[in-house]
């Protein structure tokens, strides 16, 4: 059963303001809590990498509210690849999409020529992306090597006051983080 967004207008306004001013937020996703920020703000992304103790080279996922929000990444691709990605969305599947025009900064893409993208069906994630008007960085809320946070208490235990905002809400109904599929090869990574 999918949760409904429980954010009121004020919470959404505060979350939007936090992201657009370069802040880092924690928020519930389909299966685990995520850390997010504006993917075009290098300092915010680097802060998430530092919090997680994660190397930039690994890259991170972008999460969007709709296919339209990532259309700029799909349009340069052959129609068959666009179709392949669109078949998985919205939902808990992350697609590796060739970033042929290098529209996503390397601090998000890492050492890869692809970008990991998910169009979420989680109402709260959709609301956050709509409010900010962009896809957001979405990486599991945990330091490297630790289990992803599955509740707000774990989020606070891991990061305490190091986050700019913790967005309240319920996880989606999935037990595992999103599957990752390379749309060029069909290979599944997780």
User: 7-54, pLDDT tens digit by residue?
Assistant: 889 999 999 999 999 999 999 999 999 999 999 999 999 999 999 999
pLDDT at 95 over 60: yes
**Alpha-carbon torsion (28, 54, 154, 24), positive or negative:** negative
pLDDT at 1 over 70: no
pLDDT given for residue 3 in this prediction: 66
Give one DSSP letter per residue of 126-171, joined into a string: HHHHHHHTS-EEEEESS-TTSPPP-SHHHHHHHHGGGSSEE-----
Name the phi and psi angles at 60, rounded to 5.
-140, 165
pLDDT given for residue 58 in this prediction: 96
The band of 187, judged by pLDDT with boundaries at 50, 70 and 90, is very high
To the question of pTM greater than 0.85 for the whole model, the response is yes
- Residue 27 Cα to chain centre, angstroms: 10
Could you give the domains of the chain? 9-182 (3.90.870.10)
């Amino acid at each position: 059963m999918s949760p409904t967004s429980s954010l009121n207008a004020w919470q959404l306004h505060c979350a939007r303001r936090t992201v657009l001013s370069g802040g880092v937020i924690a928020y519930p996703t389909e299966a685990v809590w995520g850390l997010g920020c504006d993917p075009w703000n290098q300092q915010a992304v680097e802060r998430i990498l530092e919090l997680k103790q994660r190397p930039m080279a690994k890259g991170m996922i972008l999460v969007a509210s709709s296919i339209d929000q990532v259309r700029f990444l799909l349009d340069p691709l052959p129609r068959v690849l666009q179709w392949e990605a669109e078949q998985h969305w919205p939902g808990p599947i992350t697609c590796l999409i060739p970033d042929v025009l290098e529209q996503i900064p390397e601090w998000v893409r890492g050492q890869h020529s692809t970008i990991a993208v998910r169009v979420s069906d989680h109402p709260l994630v959709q609301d956050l992306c709509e409010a900010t008007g962009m896809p957001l960085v979405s990486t599991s809320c945990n330091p490297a090597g630790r289990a992803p946070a599955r509740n707000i208490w774990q989020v606070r235990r891991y990061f305490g006051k190091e986050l700019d905002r913790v967005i309240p809400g319920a996880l989606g109904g999935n037990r595992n983080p999103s599957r990752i599929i390379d749309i060029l090869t069909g290979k599944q990574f997780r």
